[in-house]
């Protein structure tokens, strides 16, 4: 587990950028935290690192899923908040996307824990008095390595 503190949304975006620089094809990133915690801000940083134009990146709260074209990889950005039942995930082809080619980011993944793959990066964002505490929790060897690289990147100040 790696813990970070982000004083404002720019810092959250920067941490997302470091995660994006480290993430590769097939990675699944689950984002948890209260309404307005900063899940979309973090996802934006990840997408920016992959070369997605800033204006393309929006919250998928109503669309449920956005697809972004990055330089080398596509990204899928889910927000499951408005889904009521796991079966609705089938309707949007969730299984075909997750862990397939491209990078998948899932806001409110914790609403459907049994639908997540065996291995993924869990990110928990909690609101502090000022700023946010952001905890990276790797599930699986690949994601443990990813977390080490993210920490090294953040510490190197890039």
Ligand X SMILES: Nc1ncnc2c1ncn2[C@@H]1O[C@H](COP(=O)(O)OP(=O)(O)OP(=O)(O)O)[C@@H](O)[C@H]1O
> Residues 1, 3, 8, 126: which binds ligand X (CB under 6 A)?
8
Closest CA to 44 of 73, 16, 15, 8: 16
Q: How far is the CB of 107 from Mg ion (least distance, A)?
A: 5
User: If binding is defined by CB under 6 A, does position 26 make contact with ligand X?
Assistant: no
Token pair listed for 45: 């940083």
- In eight-state DSSP terms, residue 112 is S
Under rule CB under 6 A, how many of the chain's residues touch ligand X? 20
> Residues 16, 38, 70, 102: which binds ligand X (CB under 6 A)?
38
> Residues 24, 36, 126, 152: which binds ligand X (CB under 6 A)?
36
> Residues 2, 21, 26, 59: which binds ligand X (CB under 6 A)?
59
Here the contacts of 82-90 (C-beta below 8 Å, separation 24 or greater) are: 83/111, 83/112, 86/112, 86/114, 86/115, 89/115
DSSP H or E run through 25 = none
CA dist 48 and 127 (Å) reads 23
> Residues 40, 66, 104, 122: which binds Mg ion (CB under 5 A)?
40
Q: Which residue has the tokens 């990276």?
A: 136
Q: How far is the CB of 88 from ligand X (least distance, A)?
A: 18
User: If binding is defined by CB under 5 A, does position 32 make contact with Mg ion?
Assistant: no
Q: Residue 38 region, left (φ>0) first, then alpha (ψ -120 to 50), else beta?
A: left
Stretch that binds ligand X, among 30-38, 66-74, 82-90, 115-123 (CB under 6 A): 30-38
CA dist 152 and 71 (Å) reads 24
Which residues within the stretch 83-112 sit at the binding site for ligand X (CB under 6 A)?
107
Which residue lies nearer to ligand X by CB, 9 or 21?
9
Positions touching Mg ion (CB under 5 A) are: 39-40, 59, 107
């Amino acid at each position: 587990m790696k813990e970070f503190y982000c004083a404002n949304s720019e810092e959250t975006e920067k941490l997302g950028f470091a995660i994006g620089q480290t993430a590769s094809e097939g990675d699944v990133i689950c984002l948890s935290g209260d309404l307005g915690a900063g899940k979309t801000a973090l996802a934006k940083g990840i997408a920016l690192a992959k070369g997605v134009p800033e204006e393309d990146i929006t919250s998928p709260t109503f669309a449920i899923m956005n697809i972004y074209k990055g330089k080398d990889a596509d990204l899928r950005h889910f927000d499951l908040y408005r889904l009521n039942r796991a079966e609705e995930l089938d309707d949007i082809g969730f299984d075909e996307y997750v862990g397939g080619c491209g990078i998948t980011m899932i806001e409110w993944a914790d609403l459907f824990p049994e639908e997540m793959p065996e291995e993924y990066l869990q990110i928990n964002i909690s609101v502090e008095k000022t700023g946010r505490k952001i905890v990276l929790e790797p599930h699986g060897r690949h994601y443990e390595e990813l977390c080490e690289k993210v920490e090294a990147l953040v510490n190197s100040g890039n």
